[in-house]
Amino acid sequence: MRLFYVLWLWTAYRLPCHGSPTPMPPSDGASTRDAAADRNRESTQDFYTSRQYVVQRNLVRTWMQTMDSLQVETWLMHSALLGWWRNKKLLPWDTSTISVQLAEPDLFFLAAYHNTSAFHFWSRDVGGRKRGKRSRYLLHISPDATDREPASQAPSLADARWVDTATGASLDVYAVRYGLGGPAIRGRRRGVWWSRDGGEVMASSLFPLLSATFEGVPVKIPSGYRNLLEEEYGPEAFRRTEQRGQSNMHSRGSDMTANAKDESGPDHDRDL
C-alpha cells in the first residue's frame, strides 16, 4: 500500500525518485519582467512595420507639408508631442487619435479658402522611386468650428480633420483661442489660450514655437513642451525614458532651432 502511494505521488507531480526536486523559478519576478519587456519590444517592432503605422505616419507628414505650403503654423500636442520627446515617432500604444493645434485665425483662413479641398501626394518606394499611385487627403472643417462653447456643449469635438480618403483614418485639428473674457467664455483667465476640447495653455508655454523633426519631417512644437507634457502625463513620462538609459537628445535641445520661415511654395500635388 505504501509503495502504491509513492508511485501515485510520482505520477501526479512528476517528481524524480532520487535526488532533489526541480528548482522553482526565482520569486523576485525578474523572469516575469523580462518576459513582459520582450513582449513589449516585439509589439513595438510589429507596430513600426505595420500598415497602420504607415497610414498614421503619412497623415502627420502630409498635414505638416500642406500647412507649410499654405504658410499656416501648426504644432504637435498631446500624445504626438510625447512621441516626439520619446523617439521622434508616434507612440505604439496611443495612436487612436493624433492631435495638432493651430491658431483660430488660421482655422478661419482654412475654412474660407480650403475647406473640403483635396490634396494629392505621390507615394514612393524604398528606393525613392514614384510608385505611380497618388494618395488623396481631404481637409474637412467642422461646421461647429466657429462655436466658442466648450466641446461638451457642442456637437463636434475637433475643429477640423485631415482625412486619408483611402482608409478613412484622420488627424484631429484643434484651434486655440485667446481668452479675452466675455459672456461666451466667462471664467477664462486672461493670457490663456484654450480650445474646445477643454485644453488651456498659457501663452508663455506655447510661444515662441520651436522647430523640430517628427516622423522625418519638420514640425513645430511649443516652447514649454516639458511643462505641458508633465502637466498632462506626469513626471513619469520623462523618468521612464531616462531610467532606461536612452539618449534623449530632445532634452538638450539638439533637435530644435529657432522658429524660421520656410521658403517652400504652395503645391497640392507633392511627394510623401
**pLDDT beneath 70: ranges in the chain:** 1-43, 95, 123-132, 148-156, 180-190, 239-272
Cell numbers found for residue 183: 459672456
pTM for this entry: 0.72
**What gap in Å lies between CA 146 and CA 143, rounded to an integer?**
7
User: Phi and psi for 101 in degrees, rounded to 5?
Assistant: -130, 160
**What gap in Å lies between CA 204 and CA 215, rounded to an integer?**
26
**SS3 of residue 133 by DSSP:** strand
Distances (CA, A) of 224 to 83, 236, 239: 16, 17, 18
Which tens digit of pLDDT belongs to each residue from 132-166? 678 899 999 998 887 766 555 555 579 999 999 99
Pairing mode of beta strands 130-141, 200-202: unpaired
- Residue 197 is predicted with a pLDDT of 76
The answer to whether 39 and 47 are in contact (CB under 8 A) is no
Q: Exposure string (b/e) for 85-115, b if CB count within 10 Å is 16 or more?
A: bbbbbbbbeebeebbbbbbbebbeebbeebe
The answer to whether 77 and 101 are in contact (CB under 8 A) is yes
Instruction: Write down the domain spans for the chain.
Output: 46-260
- Residue 215 is predicted with a pLDDT of 94
* CATH number at 46-260: 3.30.460
120 C-beta neighbours (distance < 10 Å), count: 13
